[in-house]
Amino acid sequence: MLIALLSWLGSILVSLLLGTFLCYRIEKSGVERWGATGKLFK
């Protein structure tokens, strides 16, 4: 059961980390049309 739950938890963590990384890339691009606002999660 632990393996199953960890695989699920891993998917959730991948989602949060990958999403954060892509938001960072958008901020770094500075393109407002893509959503760059100066704040990572806004």
Partner 1 sequence: MLNAGELQVNYLNEGVICVFWYIFVFVLYTFFIIVLNLRSLKQVETFADFTTGGHRMGLWVGVFTTVATWVSVASVMGVPGYLYSNGVSAIIGWIAGWFLATAFIPIVAYKVRRPKNPPRTFPEFIHLRYEPFQKRSPLRAIVGLLMSIGYFIFVHLQVVGFGIVFSTITGIQYEIALFGFLFFLLFTSIGGFWSVSVTDSVNTIIIVLGVILGAFAVLYSTGGFVNIYENLATTTAPTFEGGESLPKGLLLSPVGGFGFGALCSIFLSNALGAIVSPHWVTRMMAPKNVKTAILQMMLSVLILTLIFIPLIIIGLGAKMLIPSLPAGQTTDYIMPTVITEFAHPIVGAFTLVALCAAAISTANSMLLHAGTSIYYDLYRNLFPDKDFHDEKGKKQLRYLVLTLGFLAVLSAIKPPVLLAMGFTYVYGAFGAVFFFVVLLGLYTKRMNRLAAYANVIVGLVAFIIAHIVGATNPFLVSLVVSFIAVLLSIIIGKKSPLEAYEPYFEVEVSPSTEKVLNIIRNEGADGSTDILANDSINHEVKA
List contacts with partner 1 (CB under 8 A).
1, 3-5, 7-8, 10-12, 14-16, 18-20, 22-23, 25-26, 29, 31, 33-37, 41
| Smallest distance, partner 1 to C-beta of residue 22, A | 5
To partner 1, the closest distance from the beta carbon of 3 in angstroms equals 4
Alpha-carbon distance 27 to 30, whole Å?
5
**∠ Cα 35 8 14 (to 5°):** 30
Smallest distance, partner 1 to C-beta of residue 31, A: 5
The number of C-alpha atoms within 13 Å of 14 and in the hemisphere containing its C-beta is 6
